[in-house]
Structure 1
Amino acid sequence: MAASGTRSAVRVLIVEDHTLFADSLDLSLSMEGYDVRRVALPDDHGSLAAVLSTVLAAHPRIVLLDLDLGRLGDGSRLIGPLAKAGVNVVVVTSSPDRARWGECLRLGARKVVTKAQPLNEILSTVRRLSQGFPVMDVAEREQLLQLWHEQRGEKQEARERLERLTRREREVLAFLVRGKTVREIAAHGVVSEATVRTQVKAILAKLEVSSQLAAVGLAYHVGWSFPQD
C-alpha cells in the first residue's frame, strides 16, 4: 500500500452535482491522504467548457466524474479532452445503461463505477490508479465496448427508418411524442380522424413497429425530435 506521503501527491478532482455524494467521496479520500479538490459547478451561467478549463488548470491525476451534471448536461463530453490531457478519468454514475458505460470507455475513461456499489470500490480504484495498476478486467472492458457498438448500430438503423417518413408523417409522430391523441392531431391539422389513422399506420409500417407506443419509444430512444420552423 502506498504511504500517506505518496498519496498526498496524488490530486483527485471530484466533478459531481450531488452534494451529499460528493461530500462522502471528499471525506473518504481525504482520510486516505489524497489531495482532494471539488469542482464547483455553476448554477445559472457557465458551461462544460468552463468546467473543463477549471479541471485542467488544477492538474489532477485522477478525476471522478458524474455523467449527469444537471443543467450542464452530459458529463461524458469531458472524458475525451481529459483523457487526451493524460488524466485518469473514473466515471461514477447512477446510470444502469451498460452500453453507455461502454461509450465512456471508448472515449477514454479508465473505469465506470456505479453509485450503487460500496464506496470502497471507488476508493480501491483510486488506490490502484495512484499505484499505476490496471483497474479493469480486459474481458469486462471488451464486453461493455461491444454493448456500446451494438446499441450504436441499433440506433443508426432506427434513425434510417425515421428518415423514411414524409414531412407530414414526421409532424404526426411529433404530436404522438407530445402525447396528443388522433382526435387532437386531426383537429390541429383540420383533417379527418380517418386520415390521421392512415398516416399513423404508415408511420408504424415504416418504423417497423406494431403500436403508437413503440413508435414513440423508438423516437425517444434515438433522441429524435421534429425540427420547428
Structure 2
Amino acid sequence: MTTPLRVVIADDQALVRTGFTMILGAQGIEVVAEADTGAAAVQAVRRTLPDVVLMDVRMPEMDGLEATRRILSADSEHSPRVIILTTFDLDQYVYAALNAGASGFLLKDISPEHLVNAVRTVQTGDALLAPAITRRLIARFARRDDPSLPGGHDRAAQHSRLSSLTPRETEVLLLISHGLSNSELAAHLHLSEATVKTHVARILAKLHLRDRVQAVVLAYQTGLATPAHPSPVGEAGR
C-alpha cells in the first residue's frame, strides 16, 4: 500500500488552513499538522517530519520566509519541500523564498486541482512557480551580476560545475530553463520520460542542486540561458 503524502499547513487564517486540509484530504493527502505562526510551523515540521510544507508568507511572531530558512537549514536527514503560498504577488517575496530554499511559489487563488498538483510535483523532486512569476524571474536572473541572487558571488565555480555536464545534459538544462516539463522534454528530444528523468537527476547531482528551480537560476546566472533565447515549444518558456 502506498504511503500517503504528509503535509504541514502554516497559515494564520483558520479558514485557509481548513480549506486546504479539505482539498488535500479529498485526494488522499494527509495533513499531519497545522500552524498559525512561523515558529509553530518550525516546531510542527520537527515533530511530524512531513513531505511537503504549505507556508504562508505573512504570519505573526515569525514570517514564512524565516520559518522556511530554519526548516531547510536544519541538520536533518528528512528535509521537506516547501511551497510558499501568498495573496501578495510581490517580487521581493519570490526572490526571498528562493533564497530561503523554497521549491515552489504559488498565489492563494490557484484552483484546488493546481494545489494538489503542486504538492505532488514538489514531493517528487520537481519545482514549480506560477507562470507570471517565472517570466519575471527570467528577466531578473538575466542580470547575472546581481549579488542578491543565489550564488551571486561565485561565478567561476558555477561555470566550472557546468563543464562537468555532457552535451546532452547541457541541452536538457537549457530546456529546463525555459520551463519544459519532463513530458515536454521527452517529446522535444524524442526520448522516453524515464530517460529524461535520468538526465535531470544526473544534472542536479553533478551541479549539487536541490531541484529544478535552482537549475533555472544557475542556467541564467551563467549565461547558458538568456531571455532572448526563444523557447523551442512556444509558450512553455514564458
TM-score class, shorter: 0.5 to 0.7
Alpha-carbon separation, structure 2, partners of 1:111 and 1:103: 12
Q: CA deviation at 1:108?
A: 0.2
Residues of 1 paired with 2:56 and 2:94: CA distance? 12
- Give the alignment's TM-score, normalised by structure 1: 0.52
1:80 pairs, out of 45, 69, 77, with 69
How far apart, CA to CA, are the structure 2 residues paired with 1:18 and 1:50? 14
The aligned counterpart of 1:68 is: 58
| Aligned pairs for 1:9-158 within 5 A | 10-41=5-36, 48-69=38-59, 71-85=60-74, 86-136=79-129, 140=135, 142-143=137-138, 146=141
Instruction: Give aligned-pair identity as a percent.
Output: 21
Q: CA RMSD in A?
A: 3.3
**Letter paired with 1:68:** R
Unpaired segments ≥5 residues, structure 2: 150-238
Counterparts in 2 of 1:186-197, with a 5 A limit? none
The 8 Å contact of residues 102 and 145 in structure 1, kept in 2 or not, is answered as: no
Structure 1 residues 125 and 152, CA, compared in 2 at 3 Å: closer, same or farther? Answer: same
TM-score by length of 2: 0.51
| Structure 2 letter corresponding to 1:74 | D
Contact 1:14-1:65 at 8 Å conserved across structures: yes
Alignment of 1:216-227 (within 5 A): none
Larger Rg: 1
The structure with the greater share of residues assigned to helix is 1
Shift of 1:100: 1.6
Q: Does the CA contact (< 8 Å) of 2:82 and 2:103 recur in 1?
A: yes
- Segments of 5+ residues of structure 1 without an aligned counterpart are 43-47, 154-229
Q: Say whether 1:6 aligns with 2:40.
A: no
Q: Distance in 2 between matches of 1:121 and 1:37?
A: 20
